[in-house]
Amino acid sequence: MKILAIETSCDETGVAVLEKDTTISVISNVTATSLAIHAKTGGIIPENAARAQVEYILPVIIEALLKSEGLELTDKKTDFKTSREILKEKIDAIAVTSGPGLIGSLLVGVETAKTLSYTLNKPLLPVNHLLAHIFANYINRKADEVLYPFIGLIVSGGHTDLLLFNSPTDYKWLGGTRDDAAGEAIDKAGRLLELSYPAGPEIEKRANTISNSSVKFHSPIINEDNFDFSFSGLKTEVMRFVQKETITEGLKNEICFATQKAVIDVLIKKTIKAVEQFNAQSILVGGGVSANQTLRNQLTSKTTVPVLFPEKEYSTDNAAMIGAYALINPEEKKWQEVTANPELYFSNT
Ligand code: KG4
Ligand code: ZN
């Protein structure tokens, strides 16, 4: 089965073509980003993101379809015609992120997918972006490496959640952040240190230049007996520290180390607690923060169950994970019933 997947929940316009045989493989994966626009504003302005997506969506779909057949871009008219033929002849279904996310951005992807589904008579599969972060782990991996029940940890710029999965469709939400998400806390610390947005990769790079730091920040609610997180206090702690110190490059690296450590320590502690409590057989991590190698190394070394992370290019937002989720859980819906839902969360809890 071959699927066209579309992801436009935040600032990126992603389109991928995937195939499911014995494993799920990505045949093409194209992403256009408006990051340069957001780097200038130090964060995402929703209307700017959606305006860029309206411009990018068709060219990105066309490019992904052409690439899926090993074809290069030529001229606009030919590319449009060829890609339409590929979609008609070679693609079995269309998957699209229906939420959560920014309403303007989601609408671009959802309305485009609905139009393609209707005009070419292809099944339409709406996908929850958060669950897709977890199912990115199925890409290029034998399905039997995912041992159920597993604990799913979603750590992105907008969400931090722990879930228990008994099967791909039977899951329970255990807890999540009460305020800022893990990635959001990292980005806010980055902004205080005048790092480029999003700050995760640079915070990791700077933290990696040292092996310890005299600067220490608290891991919020690490000792509470629940599966919740809270990261807004960390931002305040970093802000107070930055305001009273003279920030040299060396101290910046120490602050990055301490921020990363404060976030990672609580993520690991609560994930392992969930594994023990529910006798989980594996851990699947997803979301932009899961690209962090220190989190990968430390979580893996602190538990005896297998810990799965997506390949790094599928950790941050991408369309391939949307296709992977739809290939594992193909839940077709009539195009008339598919709507963009910015508040979509976990229905099966
Ligand atoms: O999943 P994602 O691409 O978008 C959302 O759905 O939010 O996650 C983006 C977040 C940002 O906060 C970014 O700073 C963080 O992931 N991030 C990282 C790393 N790479 C991206 N955080 C820590 N270490 C990284 N290497
Ligand atoms: Zn995401």
Q: pLDDT 10s per residue in the chain (349 long)?
A: 999 999 999 989 999 999 999 999 999 999 998 777 666 666 778 888 899 999 999 999 999 999 999 999 999 999 999 999 999 999 999 999 999 999 999 999 999 999 999 999 999 999 999 999 999 999 999 999 999 999 999 999 999 999 999 999 999 999 999 999 999 999 999 999 999 989 999 999 999 999 999 999 999 999 999 999 999 999 999 999 999 999 999 999 999 999 999 999 999 999 999 999 999 999 999 999 999 999 999 999 999 999 999 999 999 999 999 999 999 999 999 999 999 999 999 875 5
Check: CB of residue 338 under 8 Å from CB of residue 124: yes
What residues line ligand 1, using a CB cutoff of 6 Å? 10, 156-158, 183, 186-187, 198-201, 204, 287-289, 291-292, 316-317
Residue nearest to atom 23 of ligand 1 (CA): 200
Task: State which ligand 1 atom lies nearest to the alpha carbon of 197.
Answer: 14
- Going from the Cα of 12 to the center of ligand 1, the distance in angstroms, rounded, reads 13
- Going from the Cα of 183 to the center of ligand 1, the distance in angstroms, rounded, reads 5
Nearest Cα neighbor of 160 from 121, 125, 133 is 133
Residue nearest to atom 13 of ligand 1 (CA): 200
- Going from the Cα of 123 to the center of ligand 1, the distance in angstroms, rounded, reads 31
Vertex 22, ends 20 and 25: CA angle to 5°? 45
Vertex 66, ends 61 and 67: CA angle to 5°? 100
Residue nearest to atom 3 of ligand 1 (CA): 316
Residue 38 pLDDT: 61
Which pair of structure tokens corresponds to residue 236? 């305040």
Residue 338 pLDDT: 97
pTM: 0.95
Of the residues 31, 105, 154, 186, which should be mutated to test ligand 1's pocket, given the most ligand atoms within 8 Å of the CB? Answer: 186
Residue 348 pLDDT: 57
Task: State which ligand 1 atom lies nearest to the alpha carbon of 181.
Answer: 12
Of the residues 296, 316, 321, 325, which should be mutated to test ligand 1's pocket, given the most ligand atoms within 8 Å of the CB? Answer: 316
- Going from the Cα of 121 to the center of ligand 1, the distance in angstroms, rounded, reads 36
- Going from the Cα of 81 to the center of ligand 1, the distance in angstroms, rounded, reads 36
Number of Cβ within 10 Å of residue 226's Cβ equals 11
Check: CB of residue 25 under 8 Å from CB of residue 72: no
Place of tokens 């810990």: 307
Number of Cβ within 10 Å of residue 71's Cβ equals 16
Query: Nearest ligand to the C-alpha of residue 182?
Result: 1
Nearest Cα neighbor of 201 from 157, 266, 234, 265 is 157
Q: How far apart are CA 273 and CA 270, in angstroms?
A: 5
> What are phi and psi for residue 197, nearest 5 degrees?
-95, 140
Residue 33 pLDDT: 83
